[in-house]
Amino acid sequence: EPEVTQTPSHQVTQMGQEVILRCVPISNHLYFYWYRQILGQKVEFLVSFYNNEISEKSEIFDDQFSVERPDGSNFTLKIRSTKLEDSAMYFCASSEVVRHEQFFGPGTRLTVL
């Protein structure tokens, strides 16, 4: 069964460094999403992407964040200058245009020191 994959599974970085989290959505999906979950808290929406542009974004998704679909398979989330409070699990998700469900990847645990 096709699935969303994410790399790396765990990323440790120093505060102020740039990180890129990578996702490979399911191949025929056209809607893409990033969510995050700080330890012990709710899953929070960051951004959605369709037709090569951002569809929706939350207040969390400020100028420090960006998303890109550099080729036909990858979907990336970049954090330009990481802060301690960016430490969280980051989930990528994708969905088909005509179906309802979003499929989530296993997540990348980002630790900012």
Partner 1 sequence: DAKTTQPTSMDCAEGRAANLPCNHSTISGNEYVYWYRQIHSQGPQYIIHGLKNNETNEMASLIITEDRKSSTLILPHATLRDTAVYYCIVRVPSRNSGSARQLTFGSGTQLTVLP
Q: Nearest distance from residue 24's CB to partner 1, in Å?
A: 14
Tell me the CA distances in angstroms from 12 to 46, 86, 103, one per residue in order. 20, 11, 25
DSSP letter string, 39-79:
TTS-EEEEEEEETTEEEEE-TT--TTEEEE--SSS-EEEEE
Q: In the structure encoding, which two tokens stand for residue 84, read together?
A: 């301690």
Q: Nearest distance from residue 87's CB to partner 1, in Å?
A: 14
Name which of 84 and 98 has its Cβ closer to partner 1: 98
Name which of 9 and 73 has its Cβ closer to partner 1: 9
Q: Catalog residues that contact partner 1 under the rule CB under 8 A.
A: 4, 31-33, 35, 37, 42-45, 48-50, 55-56, 58, 89, 91, 93, 95, 97-107
Name which of 15 and 54 has its Cβ closer to partner 1: 54
Q: In the structure encoding, which two tokens stand for residue 57, read together?
A: 């974004």
Q: Nearest distance from residue 48's CB to partner 1, in Å?
A: 4
SS3 84: helix
